């Protein structure tokens, strides 16, 4: 009944107890599990499908977020997500897990270290076919060789399975028993590889000369082969004919069956046919190609990624969620990205510093500071203000005379200082059209207000 079965306890209260009866499903009766794995990978379409899924999951960055006050706060990447099994890289570990998850329906890792909070920091990956899972008195036990582990010490990524089953189903179990699709694919691959060795020659040279000897026939053949070695023009006499041969219909049908097998492999792994070469002749516009890449993520890899995210999230404290960063996978071309960034920045939901981080550019200090408002345009000076400024600049002693000392005393203490100042300036010969403007500026410089202006 597969990798697990349900057995009702024979004594005590009625209960359902999950018992694992996992035994490797052989590629053939005489092959061990390690060769079963390699046997499946020996089919080009299977190799392409499996490595495509594993490599995409392996190259994804994994991030941890903490939910606080209704917001998700991104944390520094934990070591378990950055490099879970040193010295192997994240790519090596996660792609290996993904490969086991696809083929065996399960991927395992034994937790070997934790931090002060009890959060796992490193694991030792274990091939799925070496892990035995069983339930005993309500406890799940993982066994590797003679060592037993509790679920607290094991990371278990499980593919789909009926409720209560301890292990998930994978490609090997579903498609290798009896005349499974992968068995048929392997047979077709083997037969197709022998088509070129079926003894069918490329052509027949027919010599009609009845007196031709074996030496003559061999000389004609050798001459033909020499002319075809460098693709020159062949010269035949009236007694020699060449008839080209092609594959027979049976062999052609075998190759067509091999293409159909690729389509079945694409369905087994949940991939669009073109990703395994099953529809290499189909044309596709740029727009459709981009859409298919999104569909690959949503409908082919979405389930695998979700299993990784939820399994890893369960290893961290409550409130912490692990998410795969899909930006790299969905990364658009440069022009489209920059246009999207511009919209985000102008709309206010994206910062310039965030754009630089996504583009792997170094940070720039103050890049997110609001721009300083432009300085207000200065009002042009009136003619009298220009005259006052000119007088102050060209005749500082005269300006100082009317704003300080004896000149100031001539008008400032008057009951009507502005009127007095105008009168005094008129006495000094200042042109009439300049007097009031100049007097107003001198008055403002002394009293810090304009004539007629009242301050509280």
Which residues lie closer than 8 Å to 95 by C-beta, 6 or more apart?
54, 55, 57, 58, 59
By C-alpha distance, which of 331, 334, 350 is closest to 342? 350
The strand ranges marked E within 76-129 are: 106-114, 120-126
pTM over 0.85: no
Q: Average pLDDT for residues 351-376, to the nearest whole number? A: 79
Looking at per-residue pLDDT, the higher value among 198 and 20 belongs to 198
Confidence of residue 385 (pLDDT cuts 50, 70, 90): low
Pairing state of beta strands 147-149 and 139-144?
antiparallel
Q: Average pLDDT for residues 257-281, to the nearest whole number? A: 74
Confidence of residue 280 (pLDDT cuts 50, 70, 90): low
In which residue are the tokens 């206010």 written? 348
How much helix, strand and coil, in percent to the nearest 5, is found in the chain?
Answer: 45, 15, 40
Confidence of residue 190 (pLDDT cuts 50, 70, 90): low
DSSP assignment, residue 395?
A: -
Of 8-12, 22-26, 263-267, 310-314, the range with the highest mean pLDDT is 310-314
Distance CA 189, CA 42 (A): 9
- In angstroms, how far is the first alpha carbon of the chain from the final one? 99
Q: Is residue 401 scored above 60 in pLDDT? A: yes
Q: At what angle do helices 181-193 and 249-269 cross, to 10 degrees?
A: 140
The strand ranges marked E within 294-358 are: 320-324
- Dump the DSSP string for 184-224: HHHHHHHHHHTGGGSS--SEEEEE--TT--HHHHHHHHHHH
Of 10-14, 96-100, 270-274, the range with the highest mean pLDDT is 96-100
Listed range (21-35, 111-125, 271-285) with the worst mean pLDDT? 21-35
Distance CA 271, CA 265 (A): 8
Looking at per-residue pLDDT, the higher value among 415 and 118 belongs to 118
By C-alpha distance, which of 57, 17, 30 is closest to 303? 57
230's enclosing H/E stretch is none
Distance CA 107, CA 170 (A): 10
Q: Is 344 helix (H, G, I), strand (E, B) or coil?
A: helix
Q: Average pLDDT for residues 238-258, to the nearest whole number? A: 56
Query: Using an 8 Å Cβ cutoff, are 112 and 152 in contact?
Result: no
Looking at per-residue pLDDT, the higher value among 296 and 286 belongs to 296
Polymer length of the chain:
456
Q: Average pLDDT for residues 183-208, to the nearest whole number? A: 57
Q: Is residue 137 scored above 80 in pLDDT? A: yes
Look at residue 26 in the predicted model and tell me its pLDDT: 37
Q: Is residue 431 scored above 60 in pLDDT? A: yes
Look at residue 437 in the predicted model and tell me its pLDDT: 79
pLDDT digits (tens, 9 = 90+) for 25-76: 333 434 455 555 667 777 788 888 899 999 999 999 999 999 877 777 889 9
350 phi, psi to nearest 5 deg: -140, 135
Look at residue 402 in the predicted model and tell me its pLDDT: 81
Listed range (128-142, 186-200, 367-381) with the worst mean pLDDT? 186-200
Helices and strands in the chain, H and E counts:
17, 13
Distance CA 421, CA 442 (A): 9
Average per-residue pLDDT in the chain? 75
Which residues lie closer than 8 Å to 273 by C-beta, 6 or more apart?
262, 263, 266, 279
Distances (CA, A) of 383 to 420, 423, 447: 22, 20, 21
Q: Is residue 150 scored above 90 in pLDDT? A: yes
Listed range (2-16, 172-186, 254-268, 372-386) with the worst mean pLDDT? 2-16
Q: Is 182 helix (H, G, I), strand (E, B) or coil?
A: helix
Listed range (20-34, 84-98, 294-308, 314-328) with the worst mean pLDDT? 20-34
Torsion sign over Cα 48, 54, 58, 59:
positive
Looking at per-residue pLDDT, the higher value among 236 and 403 belongs to 403
Look at residue 310 in the predicted model and tell me its pLDDT: 95
In which residue are the tokens 């790299």 written? 328
Look at residue 328 in the predicted model and tell me its pLDDT: 67
Q: Is 312 helix (H, G, I), strand (E, B) or coil?
A: helix
In which residue are the tokens 């399975």 written? 161
Of 4-13, 224-233, 255-264, 441-450, the range with the highest mean pLDDT is 441-450
Distances (CA, A) of 429 to 38, 424, 447: 112, 9, 24
List 133's β-bridge partners, or say none.
142
In which residue are the tokens 């997110």 written? 368
Q: Average pLDDT for residues 129-135, to the nearest whole number? A: 89
Look at residue 440 in the predicted model and tell me its pLDDT: 84
Q: Average pLDDT for residues 380-384, to the nearest whole number? A: 59
Question: Can you say how many angstroms the Cα of residue 297 is from the centroid of all Cα atoms in its chain?
Answer: 10
């Amino acid at each position: 009944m597969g990798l697990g079965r349900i057995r009702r306890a024979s004594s005590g209260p009625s209960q359902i107890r999950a018992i694992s009866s996992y035994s490797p499903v052989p590629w053939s009766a005489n092959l061990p599990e390690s060769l079963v794995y390699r046997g499946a990978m020996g089919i080009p379409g299977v190799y392409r499908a499996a490595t495509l899924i594993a490599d995409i999951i392996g190259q994804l960055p994994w991030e941890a977020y903490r939910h606080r006050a209704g917001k998700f706060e991104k944390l520094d990447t934990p070591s378990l997500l950055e490099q879970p099994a040193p010295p192997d890289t994240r790519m090596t570990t996660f792609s290996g897990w993904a490969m086991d998850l696809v083929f065996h329906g399960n991927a395992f890792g034994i937790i070997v270290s934790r931090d002060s909070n009890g959060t796992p920091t490193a694991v030792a990956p274990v091939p799925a076919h070496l892990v035995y899972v069983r339930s005993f008195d309500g406890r799940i036990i993982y066994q590797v060789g003679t060592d037993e582990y509790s679920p607290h010490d094991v990371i278990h990524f499980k593919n789909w399975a009926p409720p209560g089953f301890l292990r998930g189903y994978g490609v090997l179990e579903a498609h290798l028993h009896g005349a499974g699709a992968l068995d048929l694919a392997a047979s077709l691959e083997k037969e197709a590889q022998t088509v070129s060795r079926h003894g069918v020659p490329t052509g027949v040279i027919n010599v009609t000369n009845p007196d031709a000897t074996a030496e003559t026939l061999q000389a004609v053949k050798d001459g033909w082969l020499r002319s075809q070695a460098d693709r020159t023009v062949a010269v035949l006499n009236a007694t020699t004919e060449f008839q080209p041969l092609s594959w027979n219909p049976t062999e052609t049908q075998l190759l067509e069956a091999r293409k159909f097998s690729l389509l079945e492999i694409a369905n087994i792994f949940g991939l669009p046919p073109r990703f395994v070469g099953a529809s290499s002749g189909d044309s596709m516009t740029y727009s459709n190609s981009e859409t298919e890449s999104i569909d690959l993520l949503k409908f082919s890899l979405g389930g695998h990624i979700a299993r990784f995210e939820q399994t890893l999230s369960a290893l961290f404290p409550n409130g912490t969620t692990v998410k795969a960063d899909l930006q790299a996978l969905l990364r658009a071309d440069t022009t489209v990205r920059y246009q999207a960034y511009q919209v985000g920045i102008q709309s206010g939901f994206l910062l310039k510093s965030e754009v630089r981080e996504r583009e792997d550019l170094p940070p720039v200090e103050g890049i997110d500071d609001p721009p300083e408002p432009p300085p207000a345009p200065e009002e042009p000076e009136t003619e009298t203000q220009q005259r006052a400024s000119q007088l102050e600049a060209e005749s500082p002693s005269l300006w100082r005379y009317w704003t300080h000392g004896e000149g100031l005393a001539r008008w400032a203490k008057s009951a009507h200082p502005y009127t007095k100042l105008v009168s005094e300036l008129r006495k000094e010969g200042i042109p009439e059209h300049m007097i009031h403007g100049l007097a107003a500026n001198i008055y403002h410089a002394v009293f810090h207000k304009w004539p007629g202006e009242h301050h509280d």
